Amino acid sequence: MTVTERPAHATEAVQLRQVSRVYGTGDRAVTALDAVTLGFRSGTGTAVMGPSGSGKSTLLHCAAGLDRPTGGKVVVAGTDLGPLTETARTRLRRAAIGFVFQSFNLMPALTAEQNVALPLLLAGAKPPRDAVRAALAEVGLADRARHRPSELSGGQQQRVAIARALITRPAVVFADEPTGALDTGSSREVLGLLRRLIDQHGLTVVMVTHDPVAAAYADRVVFLADGRVADELTAAGGPPAAAEIATRMARLESAC
Ligand SMILES: Nc1ncnc2c1ncn2[C@@H]1O[C@H](COP(=O)(O)OP(=O)(O)OP(=O)(O)O)[C@@H](O)[C@H]1O
């Protein structure tokens, strides 16, 4: 298996301390994130929800080192991103963070196994063929290694993207609407796969979603409104139920 095992005692893979992000200046300034403090524990899944414009993408980009906060501190796998140069941040991102996007973002000219190997190549490592094959087997696609994305269904493409995210043994996988482009059946498969990787291999997942059913696969749901954490649901004897998540979302949306 290609992902890290669950640590003996849970630590936080990602920490945000008083993180703010203001776009623009003066009259045009928009506070997308307003002093958010959050931690994402290793070996757990968190869903981030909230009305349109509440700051979900900004949170994801700041937590993943794709954007620099205007205030506060982001720590990924024990490293404070603030003092890092662009090059060092890119290196840390490649080593410690996996990404899964709504639109899969696979390279169309490459086969499934070449796509999965790509992060290791970008990090300057020679991808071990066994590890690439093991990652594809883990997502149920051992027999599709030589297929190109156009020869795979949407759900299969997203599973290749998940194998690609796992190949570097990341401390955390950020997923931005991972089921947004999938039908119900494929969505369930992808969400079930992420859940299994969390439970059996201690993967840490932070997933932005608009879908209460997808959020119900997480251990915890964080609700944003106006750039702040407005509400939170955690598993108490089981994952949060989709109906309760939908109710909380409706409450937030009516308050906006
Ligand atoms: N590059 C930017 N320049 C100016 N304002 C921005 C920029 N990016 C985001 N914003 C603003 O920051 C706020 C938060 O945006 P963000 O995209 O994080 O929200 P979101 O919750 O992900 O929204 P959605 O669900 O619609 O994708 C919004 O008011 C948005 O208009």
**Which residues surround ligand 1 with Cβ inside 6 Å?**
23-24, 30, 32, 50, 52-58
65 found inside a domain: no
Task: Fill in the amino acid letter for 169.
Answer: R
> How do residues 181-238 score in pLDDT, each as one tens digit?
999 999 999 999 999 999 999 999 999 999 999 999 999 999 999 999 999 999 777 7
Is the pTM for the entire model greater than 0.80? Answer: yes
ipTM reported for the complex, 2 dp: 0.97
72 found inside a domain: no
103 found inside a domain: yes
- Residues of the chain below pLDDT 50: 1-9
Nearest CA to ligand 1 atom 4: 23
Closest to 206 measured CA to CA, from 43, 10, 8: 43
Q: What CATH number is attached to the domain comprising 173? A: 3.40.50.300
Tokens of 197: 């990787």
112 found inside a domain: yes
35 found inside a domain: no
Nearest CA to ligand 1 atom 31: 53
Nearest CA to ligand 1 atom 26: 52
Instruction: Say what the pLDDT of residue 198 is.
Output: 95
DSSP 49: E
Domain count across the chain: 1
Quote the ligand 1 centre to 55 CA distance (angstroms). Answer: 6
Instruction: Say what the pLDDT of residue 10 is.
Output: 57
Distances in Å between the alpha carbon of 250 and those of 57, 179, 207, 245, 246?
A: 20, 21, 19, 9, 6
Instruction: Say what the pLDDT of residue 4 is.
Output: 45
Q: How many CA atoms lie within 13 A of 14 on its CB side?
A: 32
Instruction: Say what the pLDDT of residue 152 is.
Output: 97
CA separation for the pair 230, 48 (Å, rounded): 11
Helix (H, G, I), strand (E, B) or coil at 195: helix
Nearest CA to ligand 1 atom 13: 32
Which structural domain range is residue 183 located in?
43-59+83-255
DSSP 151: G
87 found inside a domain: yes
Instruction: Say what the pLDDT of residue 183 is.
Output: 95
